[in-house]
């Protein structure tokens, strides 16, 4: 009896251990900095399509005090990019603050006469000459980059936007602590922007329901020509200093990518599709990802216009390998419903030739085989899909779609 109880306890323990798996939203990385003479750690968030995409490159968001802000910003990018599809899927690089004192020192510029100066100049050099090249080499990074920072980190963002306007495409300063050094950043503004009145930087500045931050005073001193062209300022009176980050990122990133977003969620013709992404390419230097919703709705709109749908398919093929695969998957689903199984399998074969690691294509193929009465082949196909999804660290909601297909197939065996 004792042995049976012991065995039961062991089984319960191993069962609990098996199901108690960690859920990860990112990875930890580091690069040694010759400039700073130390290892610099950072956290990286990779979007859901990252491991399945063939040739996709992603816009980059670099943020300060990454250990403090990583989780909520990563979650926001997942929501707005992969789920809401309002902005492109993005890669987040969250630079470690390495403790409060060092973080503050790293964010503040060295200004004559300001006792509490820092080494922001060296940190900018590290980011430009060491961190960005490392990230570009090791991740699917596009050249489109955004820098964000909150409070003291906002000082760093404003200073970088003024002195290194071409380093990033956009800068997001969240309730920046511009009271620092008796409003010392106003002198930086005057000595740089005030003289040249020329910058390519797009700077977003926000302010919560705070007093004495020096933000509104700073904004008033920005030259009118620069304010109208390069700076956007938004107050959020219903937010506190610690809550304003989320709404600021939503405001700024939605505005930054407003011309990437497909408002009506579909294209009714190949020329319309090509024209939109030609403008996107022109503005952002990359079309980034074409969302599953846009691909799916476009296919739906063109269901009764096979001639135009073929033209759209060819346009997708040129614009985005990943969108082309998704479009084939969507068409195959329609053909399956029409009981045109051979045509559906041909489209899926083309999709899998283009991207052999597409577990979504294998999922649709398994459904086609099952609908065509070949449950054994369907079972092998969905197992392949599940294997690939595990290899690619797919999100659980993506895996659930495959498991649902598997369950339906198993009932037929």
Distance, in Å, from the CA atom of 265 to the CA atom of 296, rounded to the nearest integer, reads 9
**What is the structure's pLDDT at 55?**
83
Q: What is the pLDDT of residues 180-192, one digit of tens each?
A: 999 999 998 888 8
Distance, in Å, from the CA atom of 363 to the CA atom of 401, rounded to the nearest integer, reads 8
**What is the structure's pLDDT at 377?**
97
Torsion of CA 398, 404, 407, 413, to 10 degrees: -90
**What is the structure's pLDDT at 412?**
86
More confident residue, 185 or 22: 185
**What is the structure's pLDDT at 345?**
97
Assess whether pLDDT exceeds 70 at residue 8: no
**What is the structure's pLDDT at 387?**
97
Confidence category of residue 413, pLDDT binned at 50, 70, 90: confident
Q: What is the pLDDT of residues 51-98, one digit of tens each?
A: 999 889 999 999 999 999 999 999 999 999 999 999 999 999 999 998
Strand partners, 234: 206
Across residues 317-344, what is the average pLDDT? Answer: 97
Of 95-104, 120-129, 244-253, 311-320, the one with minimum mean pLDDT is 95-104
Assess whether pLDDT exceeds 50 at residue 14: no
Distance, in Å, from the CA atom of 338 to the CA atom of 287, rounded to the nearest integer, reads 33
One-letter-per-residue 3-state SS of the chain: CHHHHHHHHHHHHHHHHHHCCCCCCCEEEEEEECCCCEEEEEEEECCCCCCCCCCCCEEEEEECCHHHHHHHHHHHHHHHHHHCCCCCCCEEEEECCCCHHHHHHHHCCCCCCCCCCCCHHHHHHHHHHHHHHHHHHHCCEEEEEEEEEECHHHHHHHHHHHHCCCCCCEEEEECCCCCHHHHCHHHHHHHHHHHHCCCCCEEEEEECCCCCCCHHHHHHCCCHHHHHHHEEEEECCCCCCCCHHHHHHHHHHHHHCCCCCCCCCCCCCHHHHHHHHHHHHHHHCCCCCCCHHHHHHHHHHCCCCHHHHHHHHHHHHHHCHHHHHHHHHHHHHHHHHCCCHHHHHHHHHHHHHHCCCCHHHHHHHHHHHHHCCCHHHHHHHHHHHHHHHHHCCCCHHHHHHHHHHHHHHHHHC
Task: Name the residue ranges covered by the structural domains of the chain.
Answer: 27-257, 270-411
**CATH fold of the domain at 27-257:** Rossmann fold (3.40.50)
C-alpha distances in Å from residue 276, one per residue of 269, 301, 312, 319: 11, 17, 13, 11
Across residues 3-28, what is the average pLDDT? Answer: 60
Q: What is the pLDDT of residues 198-248, one digit of tens each?
A: 667 799 999 999 999 999 999 999 988 889 999 999 999 999 999 999 999
Query: CB count, 10 Å around CB of 248?
Result: 25
Which superfamily does 270-411 belong to? Tetratricopeptide repeat domain (1.25.40.10)
pTM metric for this prediction = 0.92
Strand partners, 11: none
Average model confidence (pLDDT) across the chain: 92
- 192 phi-psi bin (left φ>0, alpha ψ -120 to 50, beta other): alpha
Across residues 400-413, what is the average pLDDT? Answer: 95
Distance, in Å, from the CA atom of 406 to the CA atom of 164, rounded to the nearest integer, reads 53
**What is the structure's pLDDT at 22?**
75
**What is the structure's pLDDT at 16?**
47
Strand partners, 33: 38
Distance, in Å, from the CA atom of 94 to the CA atom of 74, rounded to the nearest integer, reads 9
Fold match between domain 27-257 and domain 270-411: no
Tokens of 405: 């297909």
Q: What is the pLDDT of residues 257-283, one digit of tens each?
A: 999 999 999 999 999 999 999 999 999
Distance, in Å, from the CA atom of 306 to the CA atom of 300, rounded to the nearest integer, reads 11
Q: What is the pLDDT of residues 355-373, one digit of tens each?
A: 999 999 999 999 999 999 9
């Amino acid at each position: 009896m004792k042995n049976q109880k012991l065995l039961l306890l062991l089984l319960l323990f191993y069962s609990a251990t098996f199901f108690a798996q960690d859920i990860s939203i990112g990875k930890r990385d580091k690069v040694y900095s010759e400039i700073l003479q130390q290892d610099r750690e950072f956290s990286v968030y990779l979007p859901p399509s990252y491991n399945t995409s063939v040739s996709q490159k992603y816009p980059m968001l670099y943020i300060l005090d990454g250990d403090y802000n990583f989780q909520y910003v990563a979650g926001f990018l997942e929501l707005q990019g992969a789920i809401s599809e309002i902005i492109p899927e993005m890669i987040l690089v969250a630079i470690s603050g390495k403790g409060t004192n060092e973080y503050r020192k790293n964010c503040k510029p060295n200004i004559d006469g300001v006792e509490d100066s820092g080494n922001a100049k060296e940190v900018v050099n590290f980011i430009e000459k060491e961190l960005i090249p490392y990230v570009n080499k090791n991740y699917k990074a596009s050249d489109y980059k955004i820098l964000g920072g909150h409070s003291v980190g906002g000082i760093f963002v404003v200073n970088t936007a003024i002195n290194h306007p071409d380093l990033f495409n956009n800068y997001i300063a969240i309730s920046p602590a511009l009271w620092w050094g008796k409003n010392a950043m106003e002198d930086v503004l005057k000595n740089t922007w005030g003289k040249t009145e020329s910058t390519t930087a797009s700077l977003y500045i926000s302010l919560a329901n705070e007093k004495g931050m020096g933000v509104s005073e700073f904004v008033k001193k920005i030259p009118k020509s620069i304010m109208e062209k390069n700076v956007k300022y938004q107050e959020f009176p219903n937010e506190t200093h610690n809550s304003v980050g989320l709404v600021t990122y939503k405001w700024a990133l939605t505005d930054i990518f407003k011309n990437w977003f497909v408002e009506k969620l579909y294209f009714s013709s190949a020329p319309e599709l090509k024209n939109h992404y030609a403008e996107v390419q022109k503005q952002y230097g990359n079309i980034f990802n074409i969302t599953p919703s846009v691909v799916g709705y476009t296919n739906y709109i063109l269901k009764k216009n096979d001639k135009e749908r073929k033209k759209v398919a060819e346009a997708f093929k040129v614009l985005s390998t990943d969108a082309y695969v998704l479009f084939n998957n969507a068409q195959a689903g329609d053909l399956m419903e029409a009981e045109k199984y051979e045509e559906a399998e041909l489209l899926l074969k083309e999709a899998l030739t283009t991207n052999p690691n597409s577990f979504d294509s294998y999922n649709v193929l398994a459904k086609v085989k099952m609908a065509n009465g070949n449950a054994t082949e369907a079972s092998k196909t969905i197992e392949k899909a599940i294997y690939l999804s595990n290899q690619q660290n797919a999100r659980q909601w993506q895996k659930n779609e495959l498991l649902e297909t598997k369950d339906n197939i198993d009932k037929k065996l």
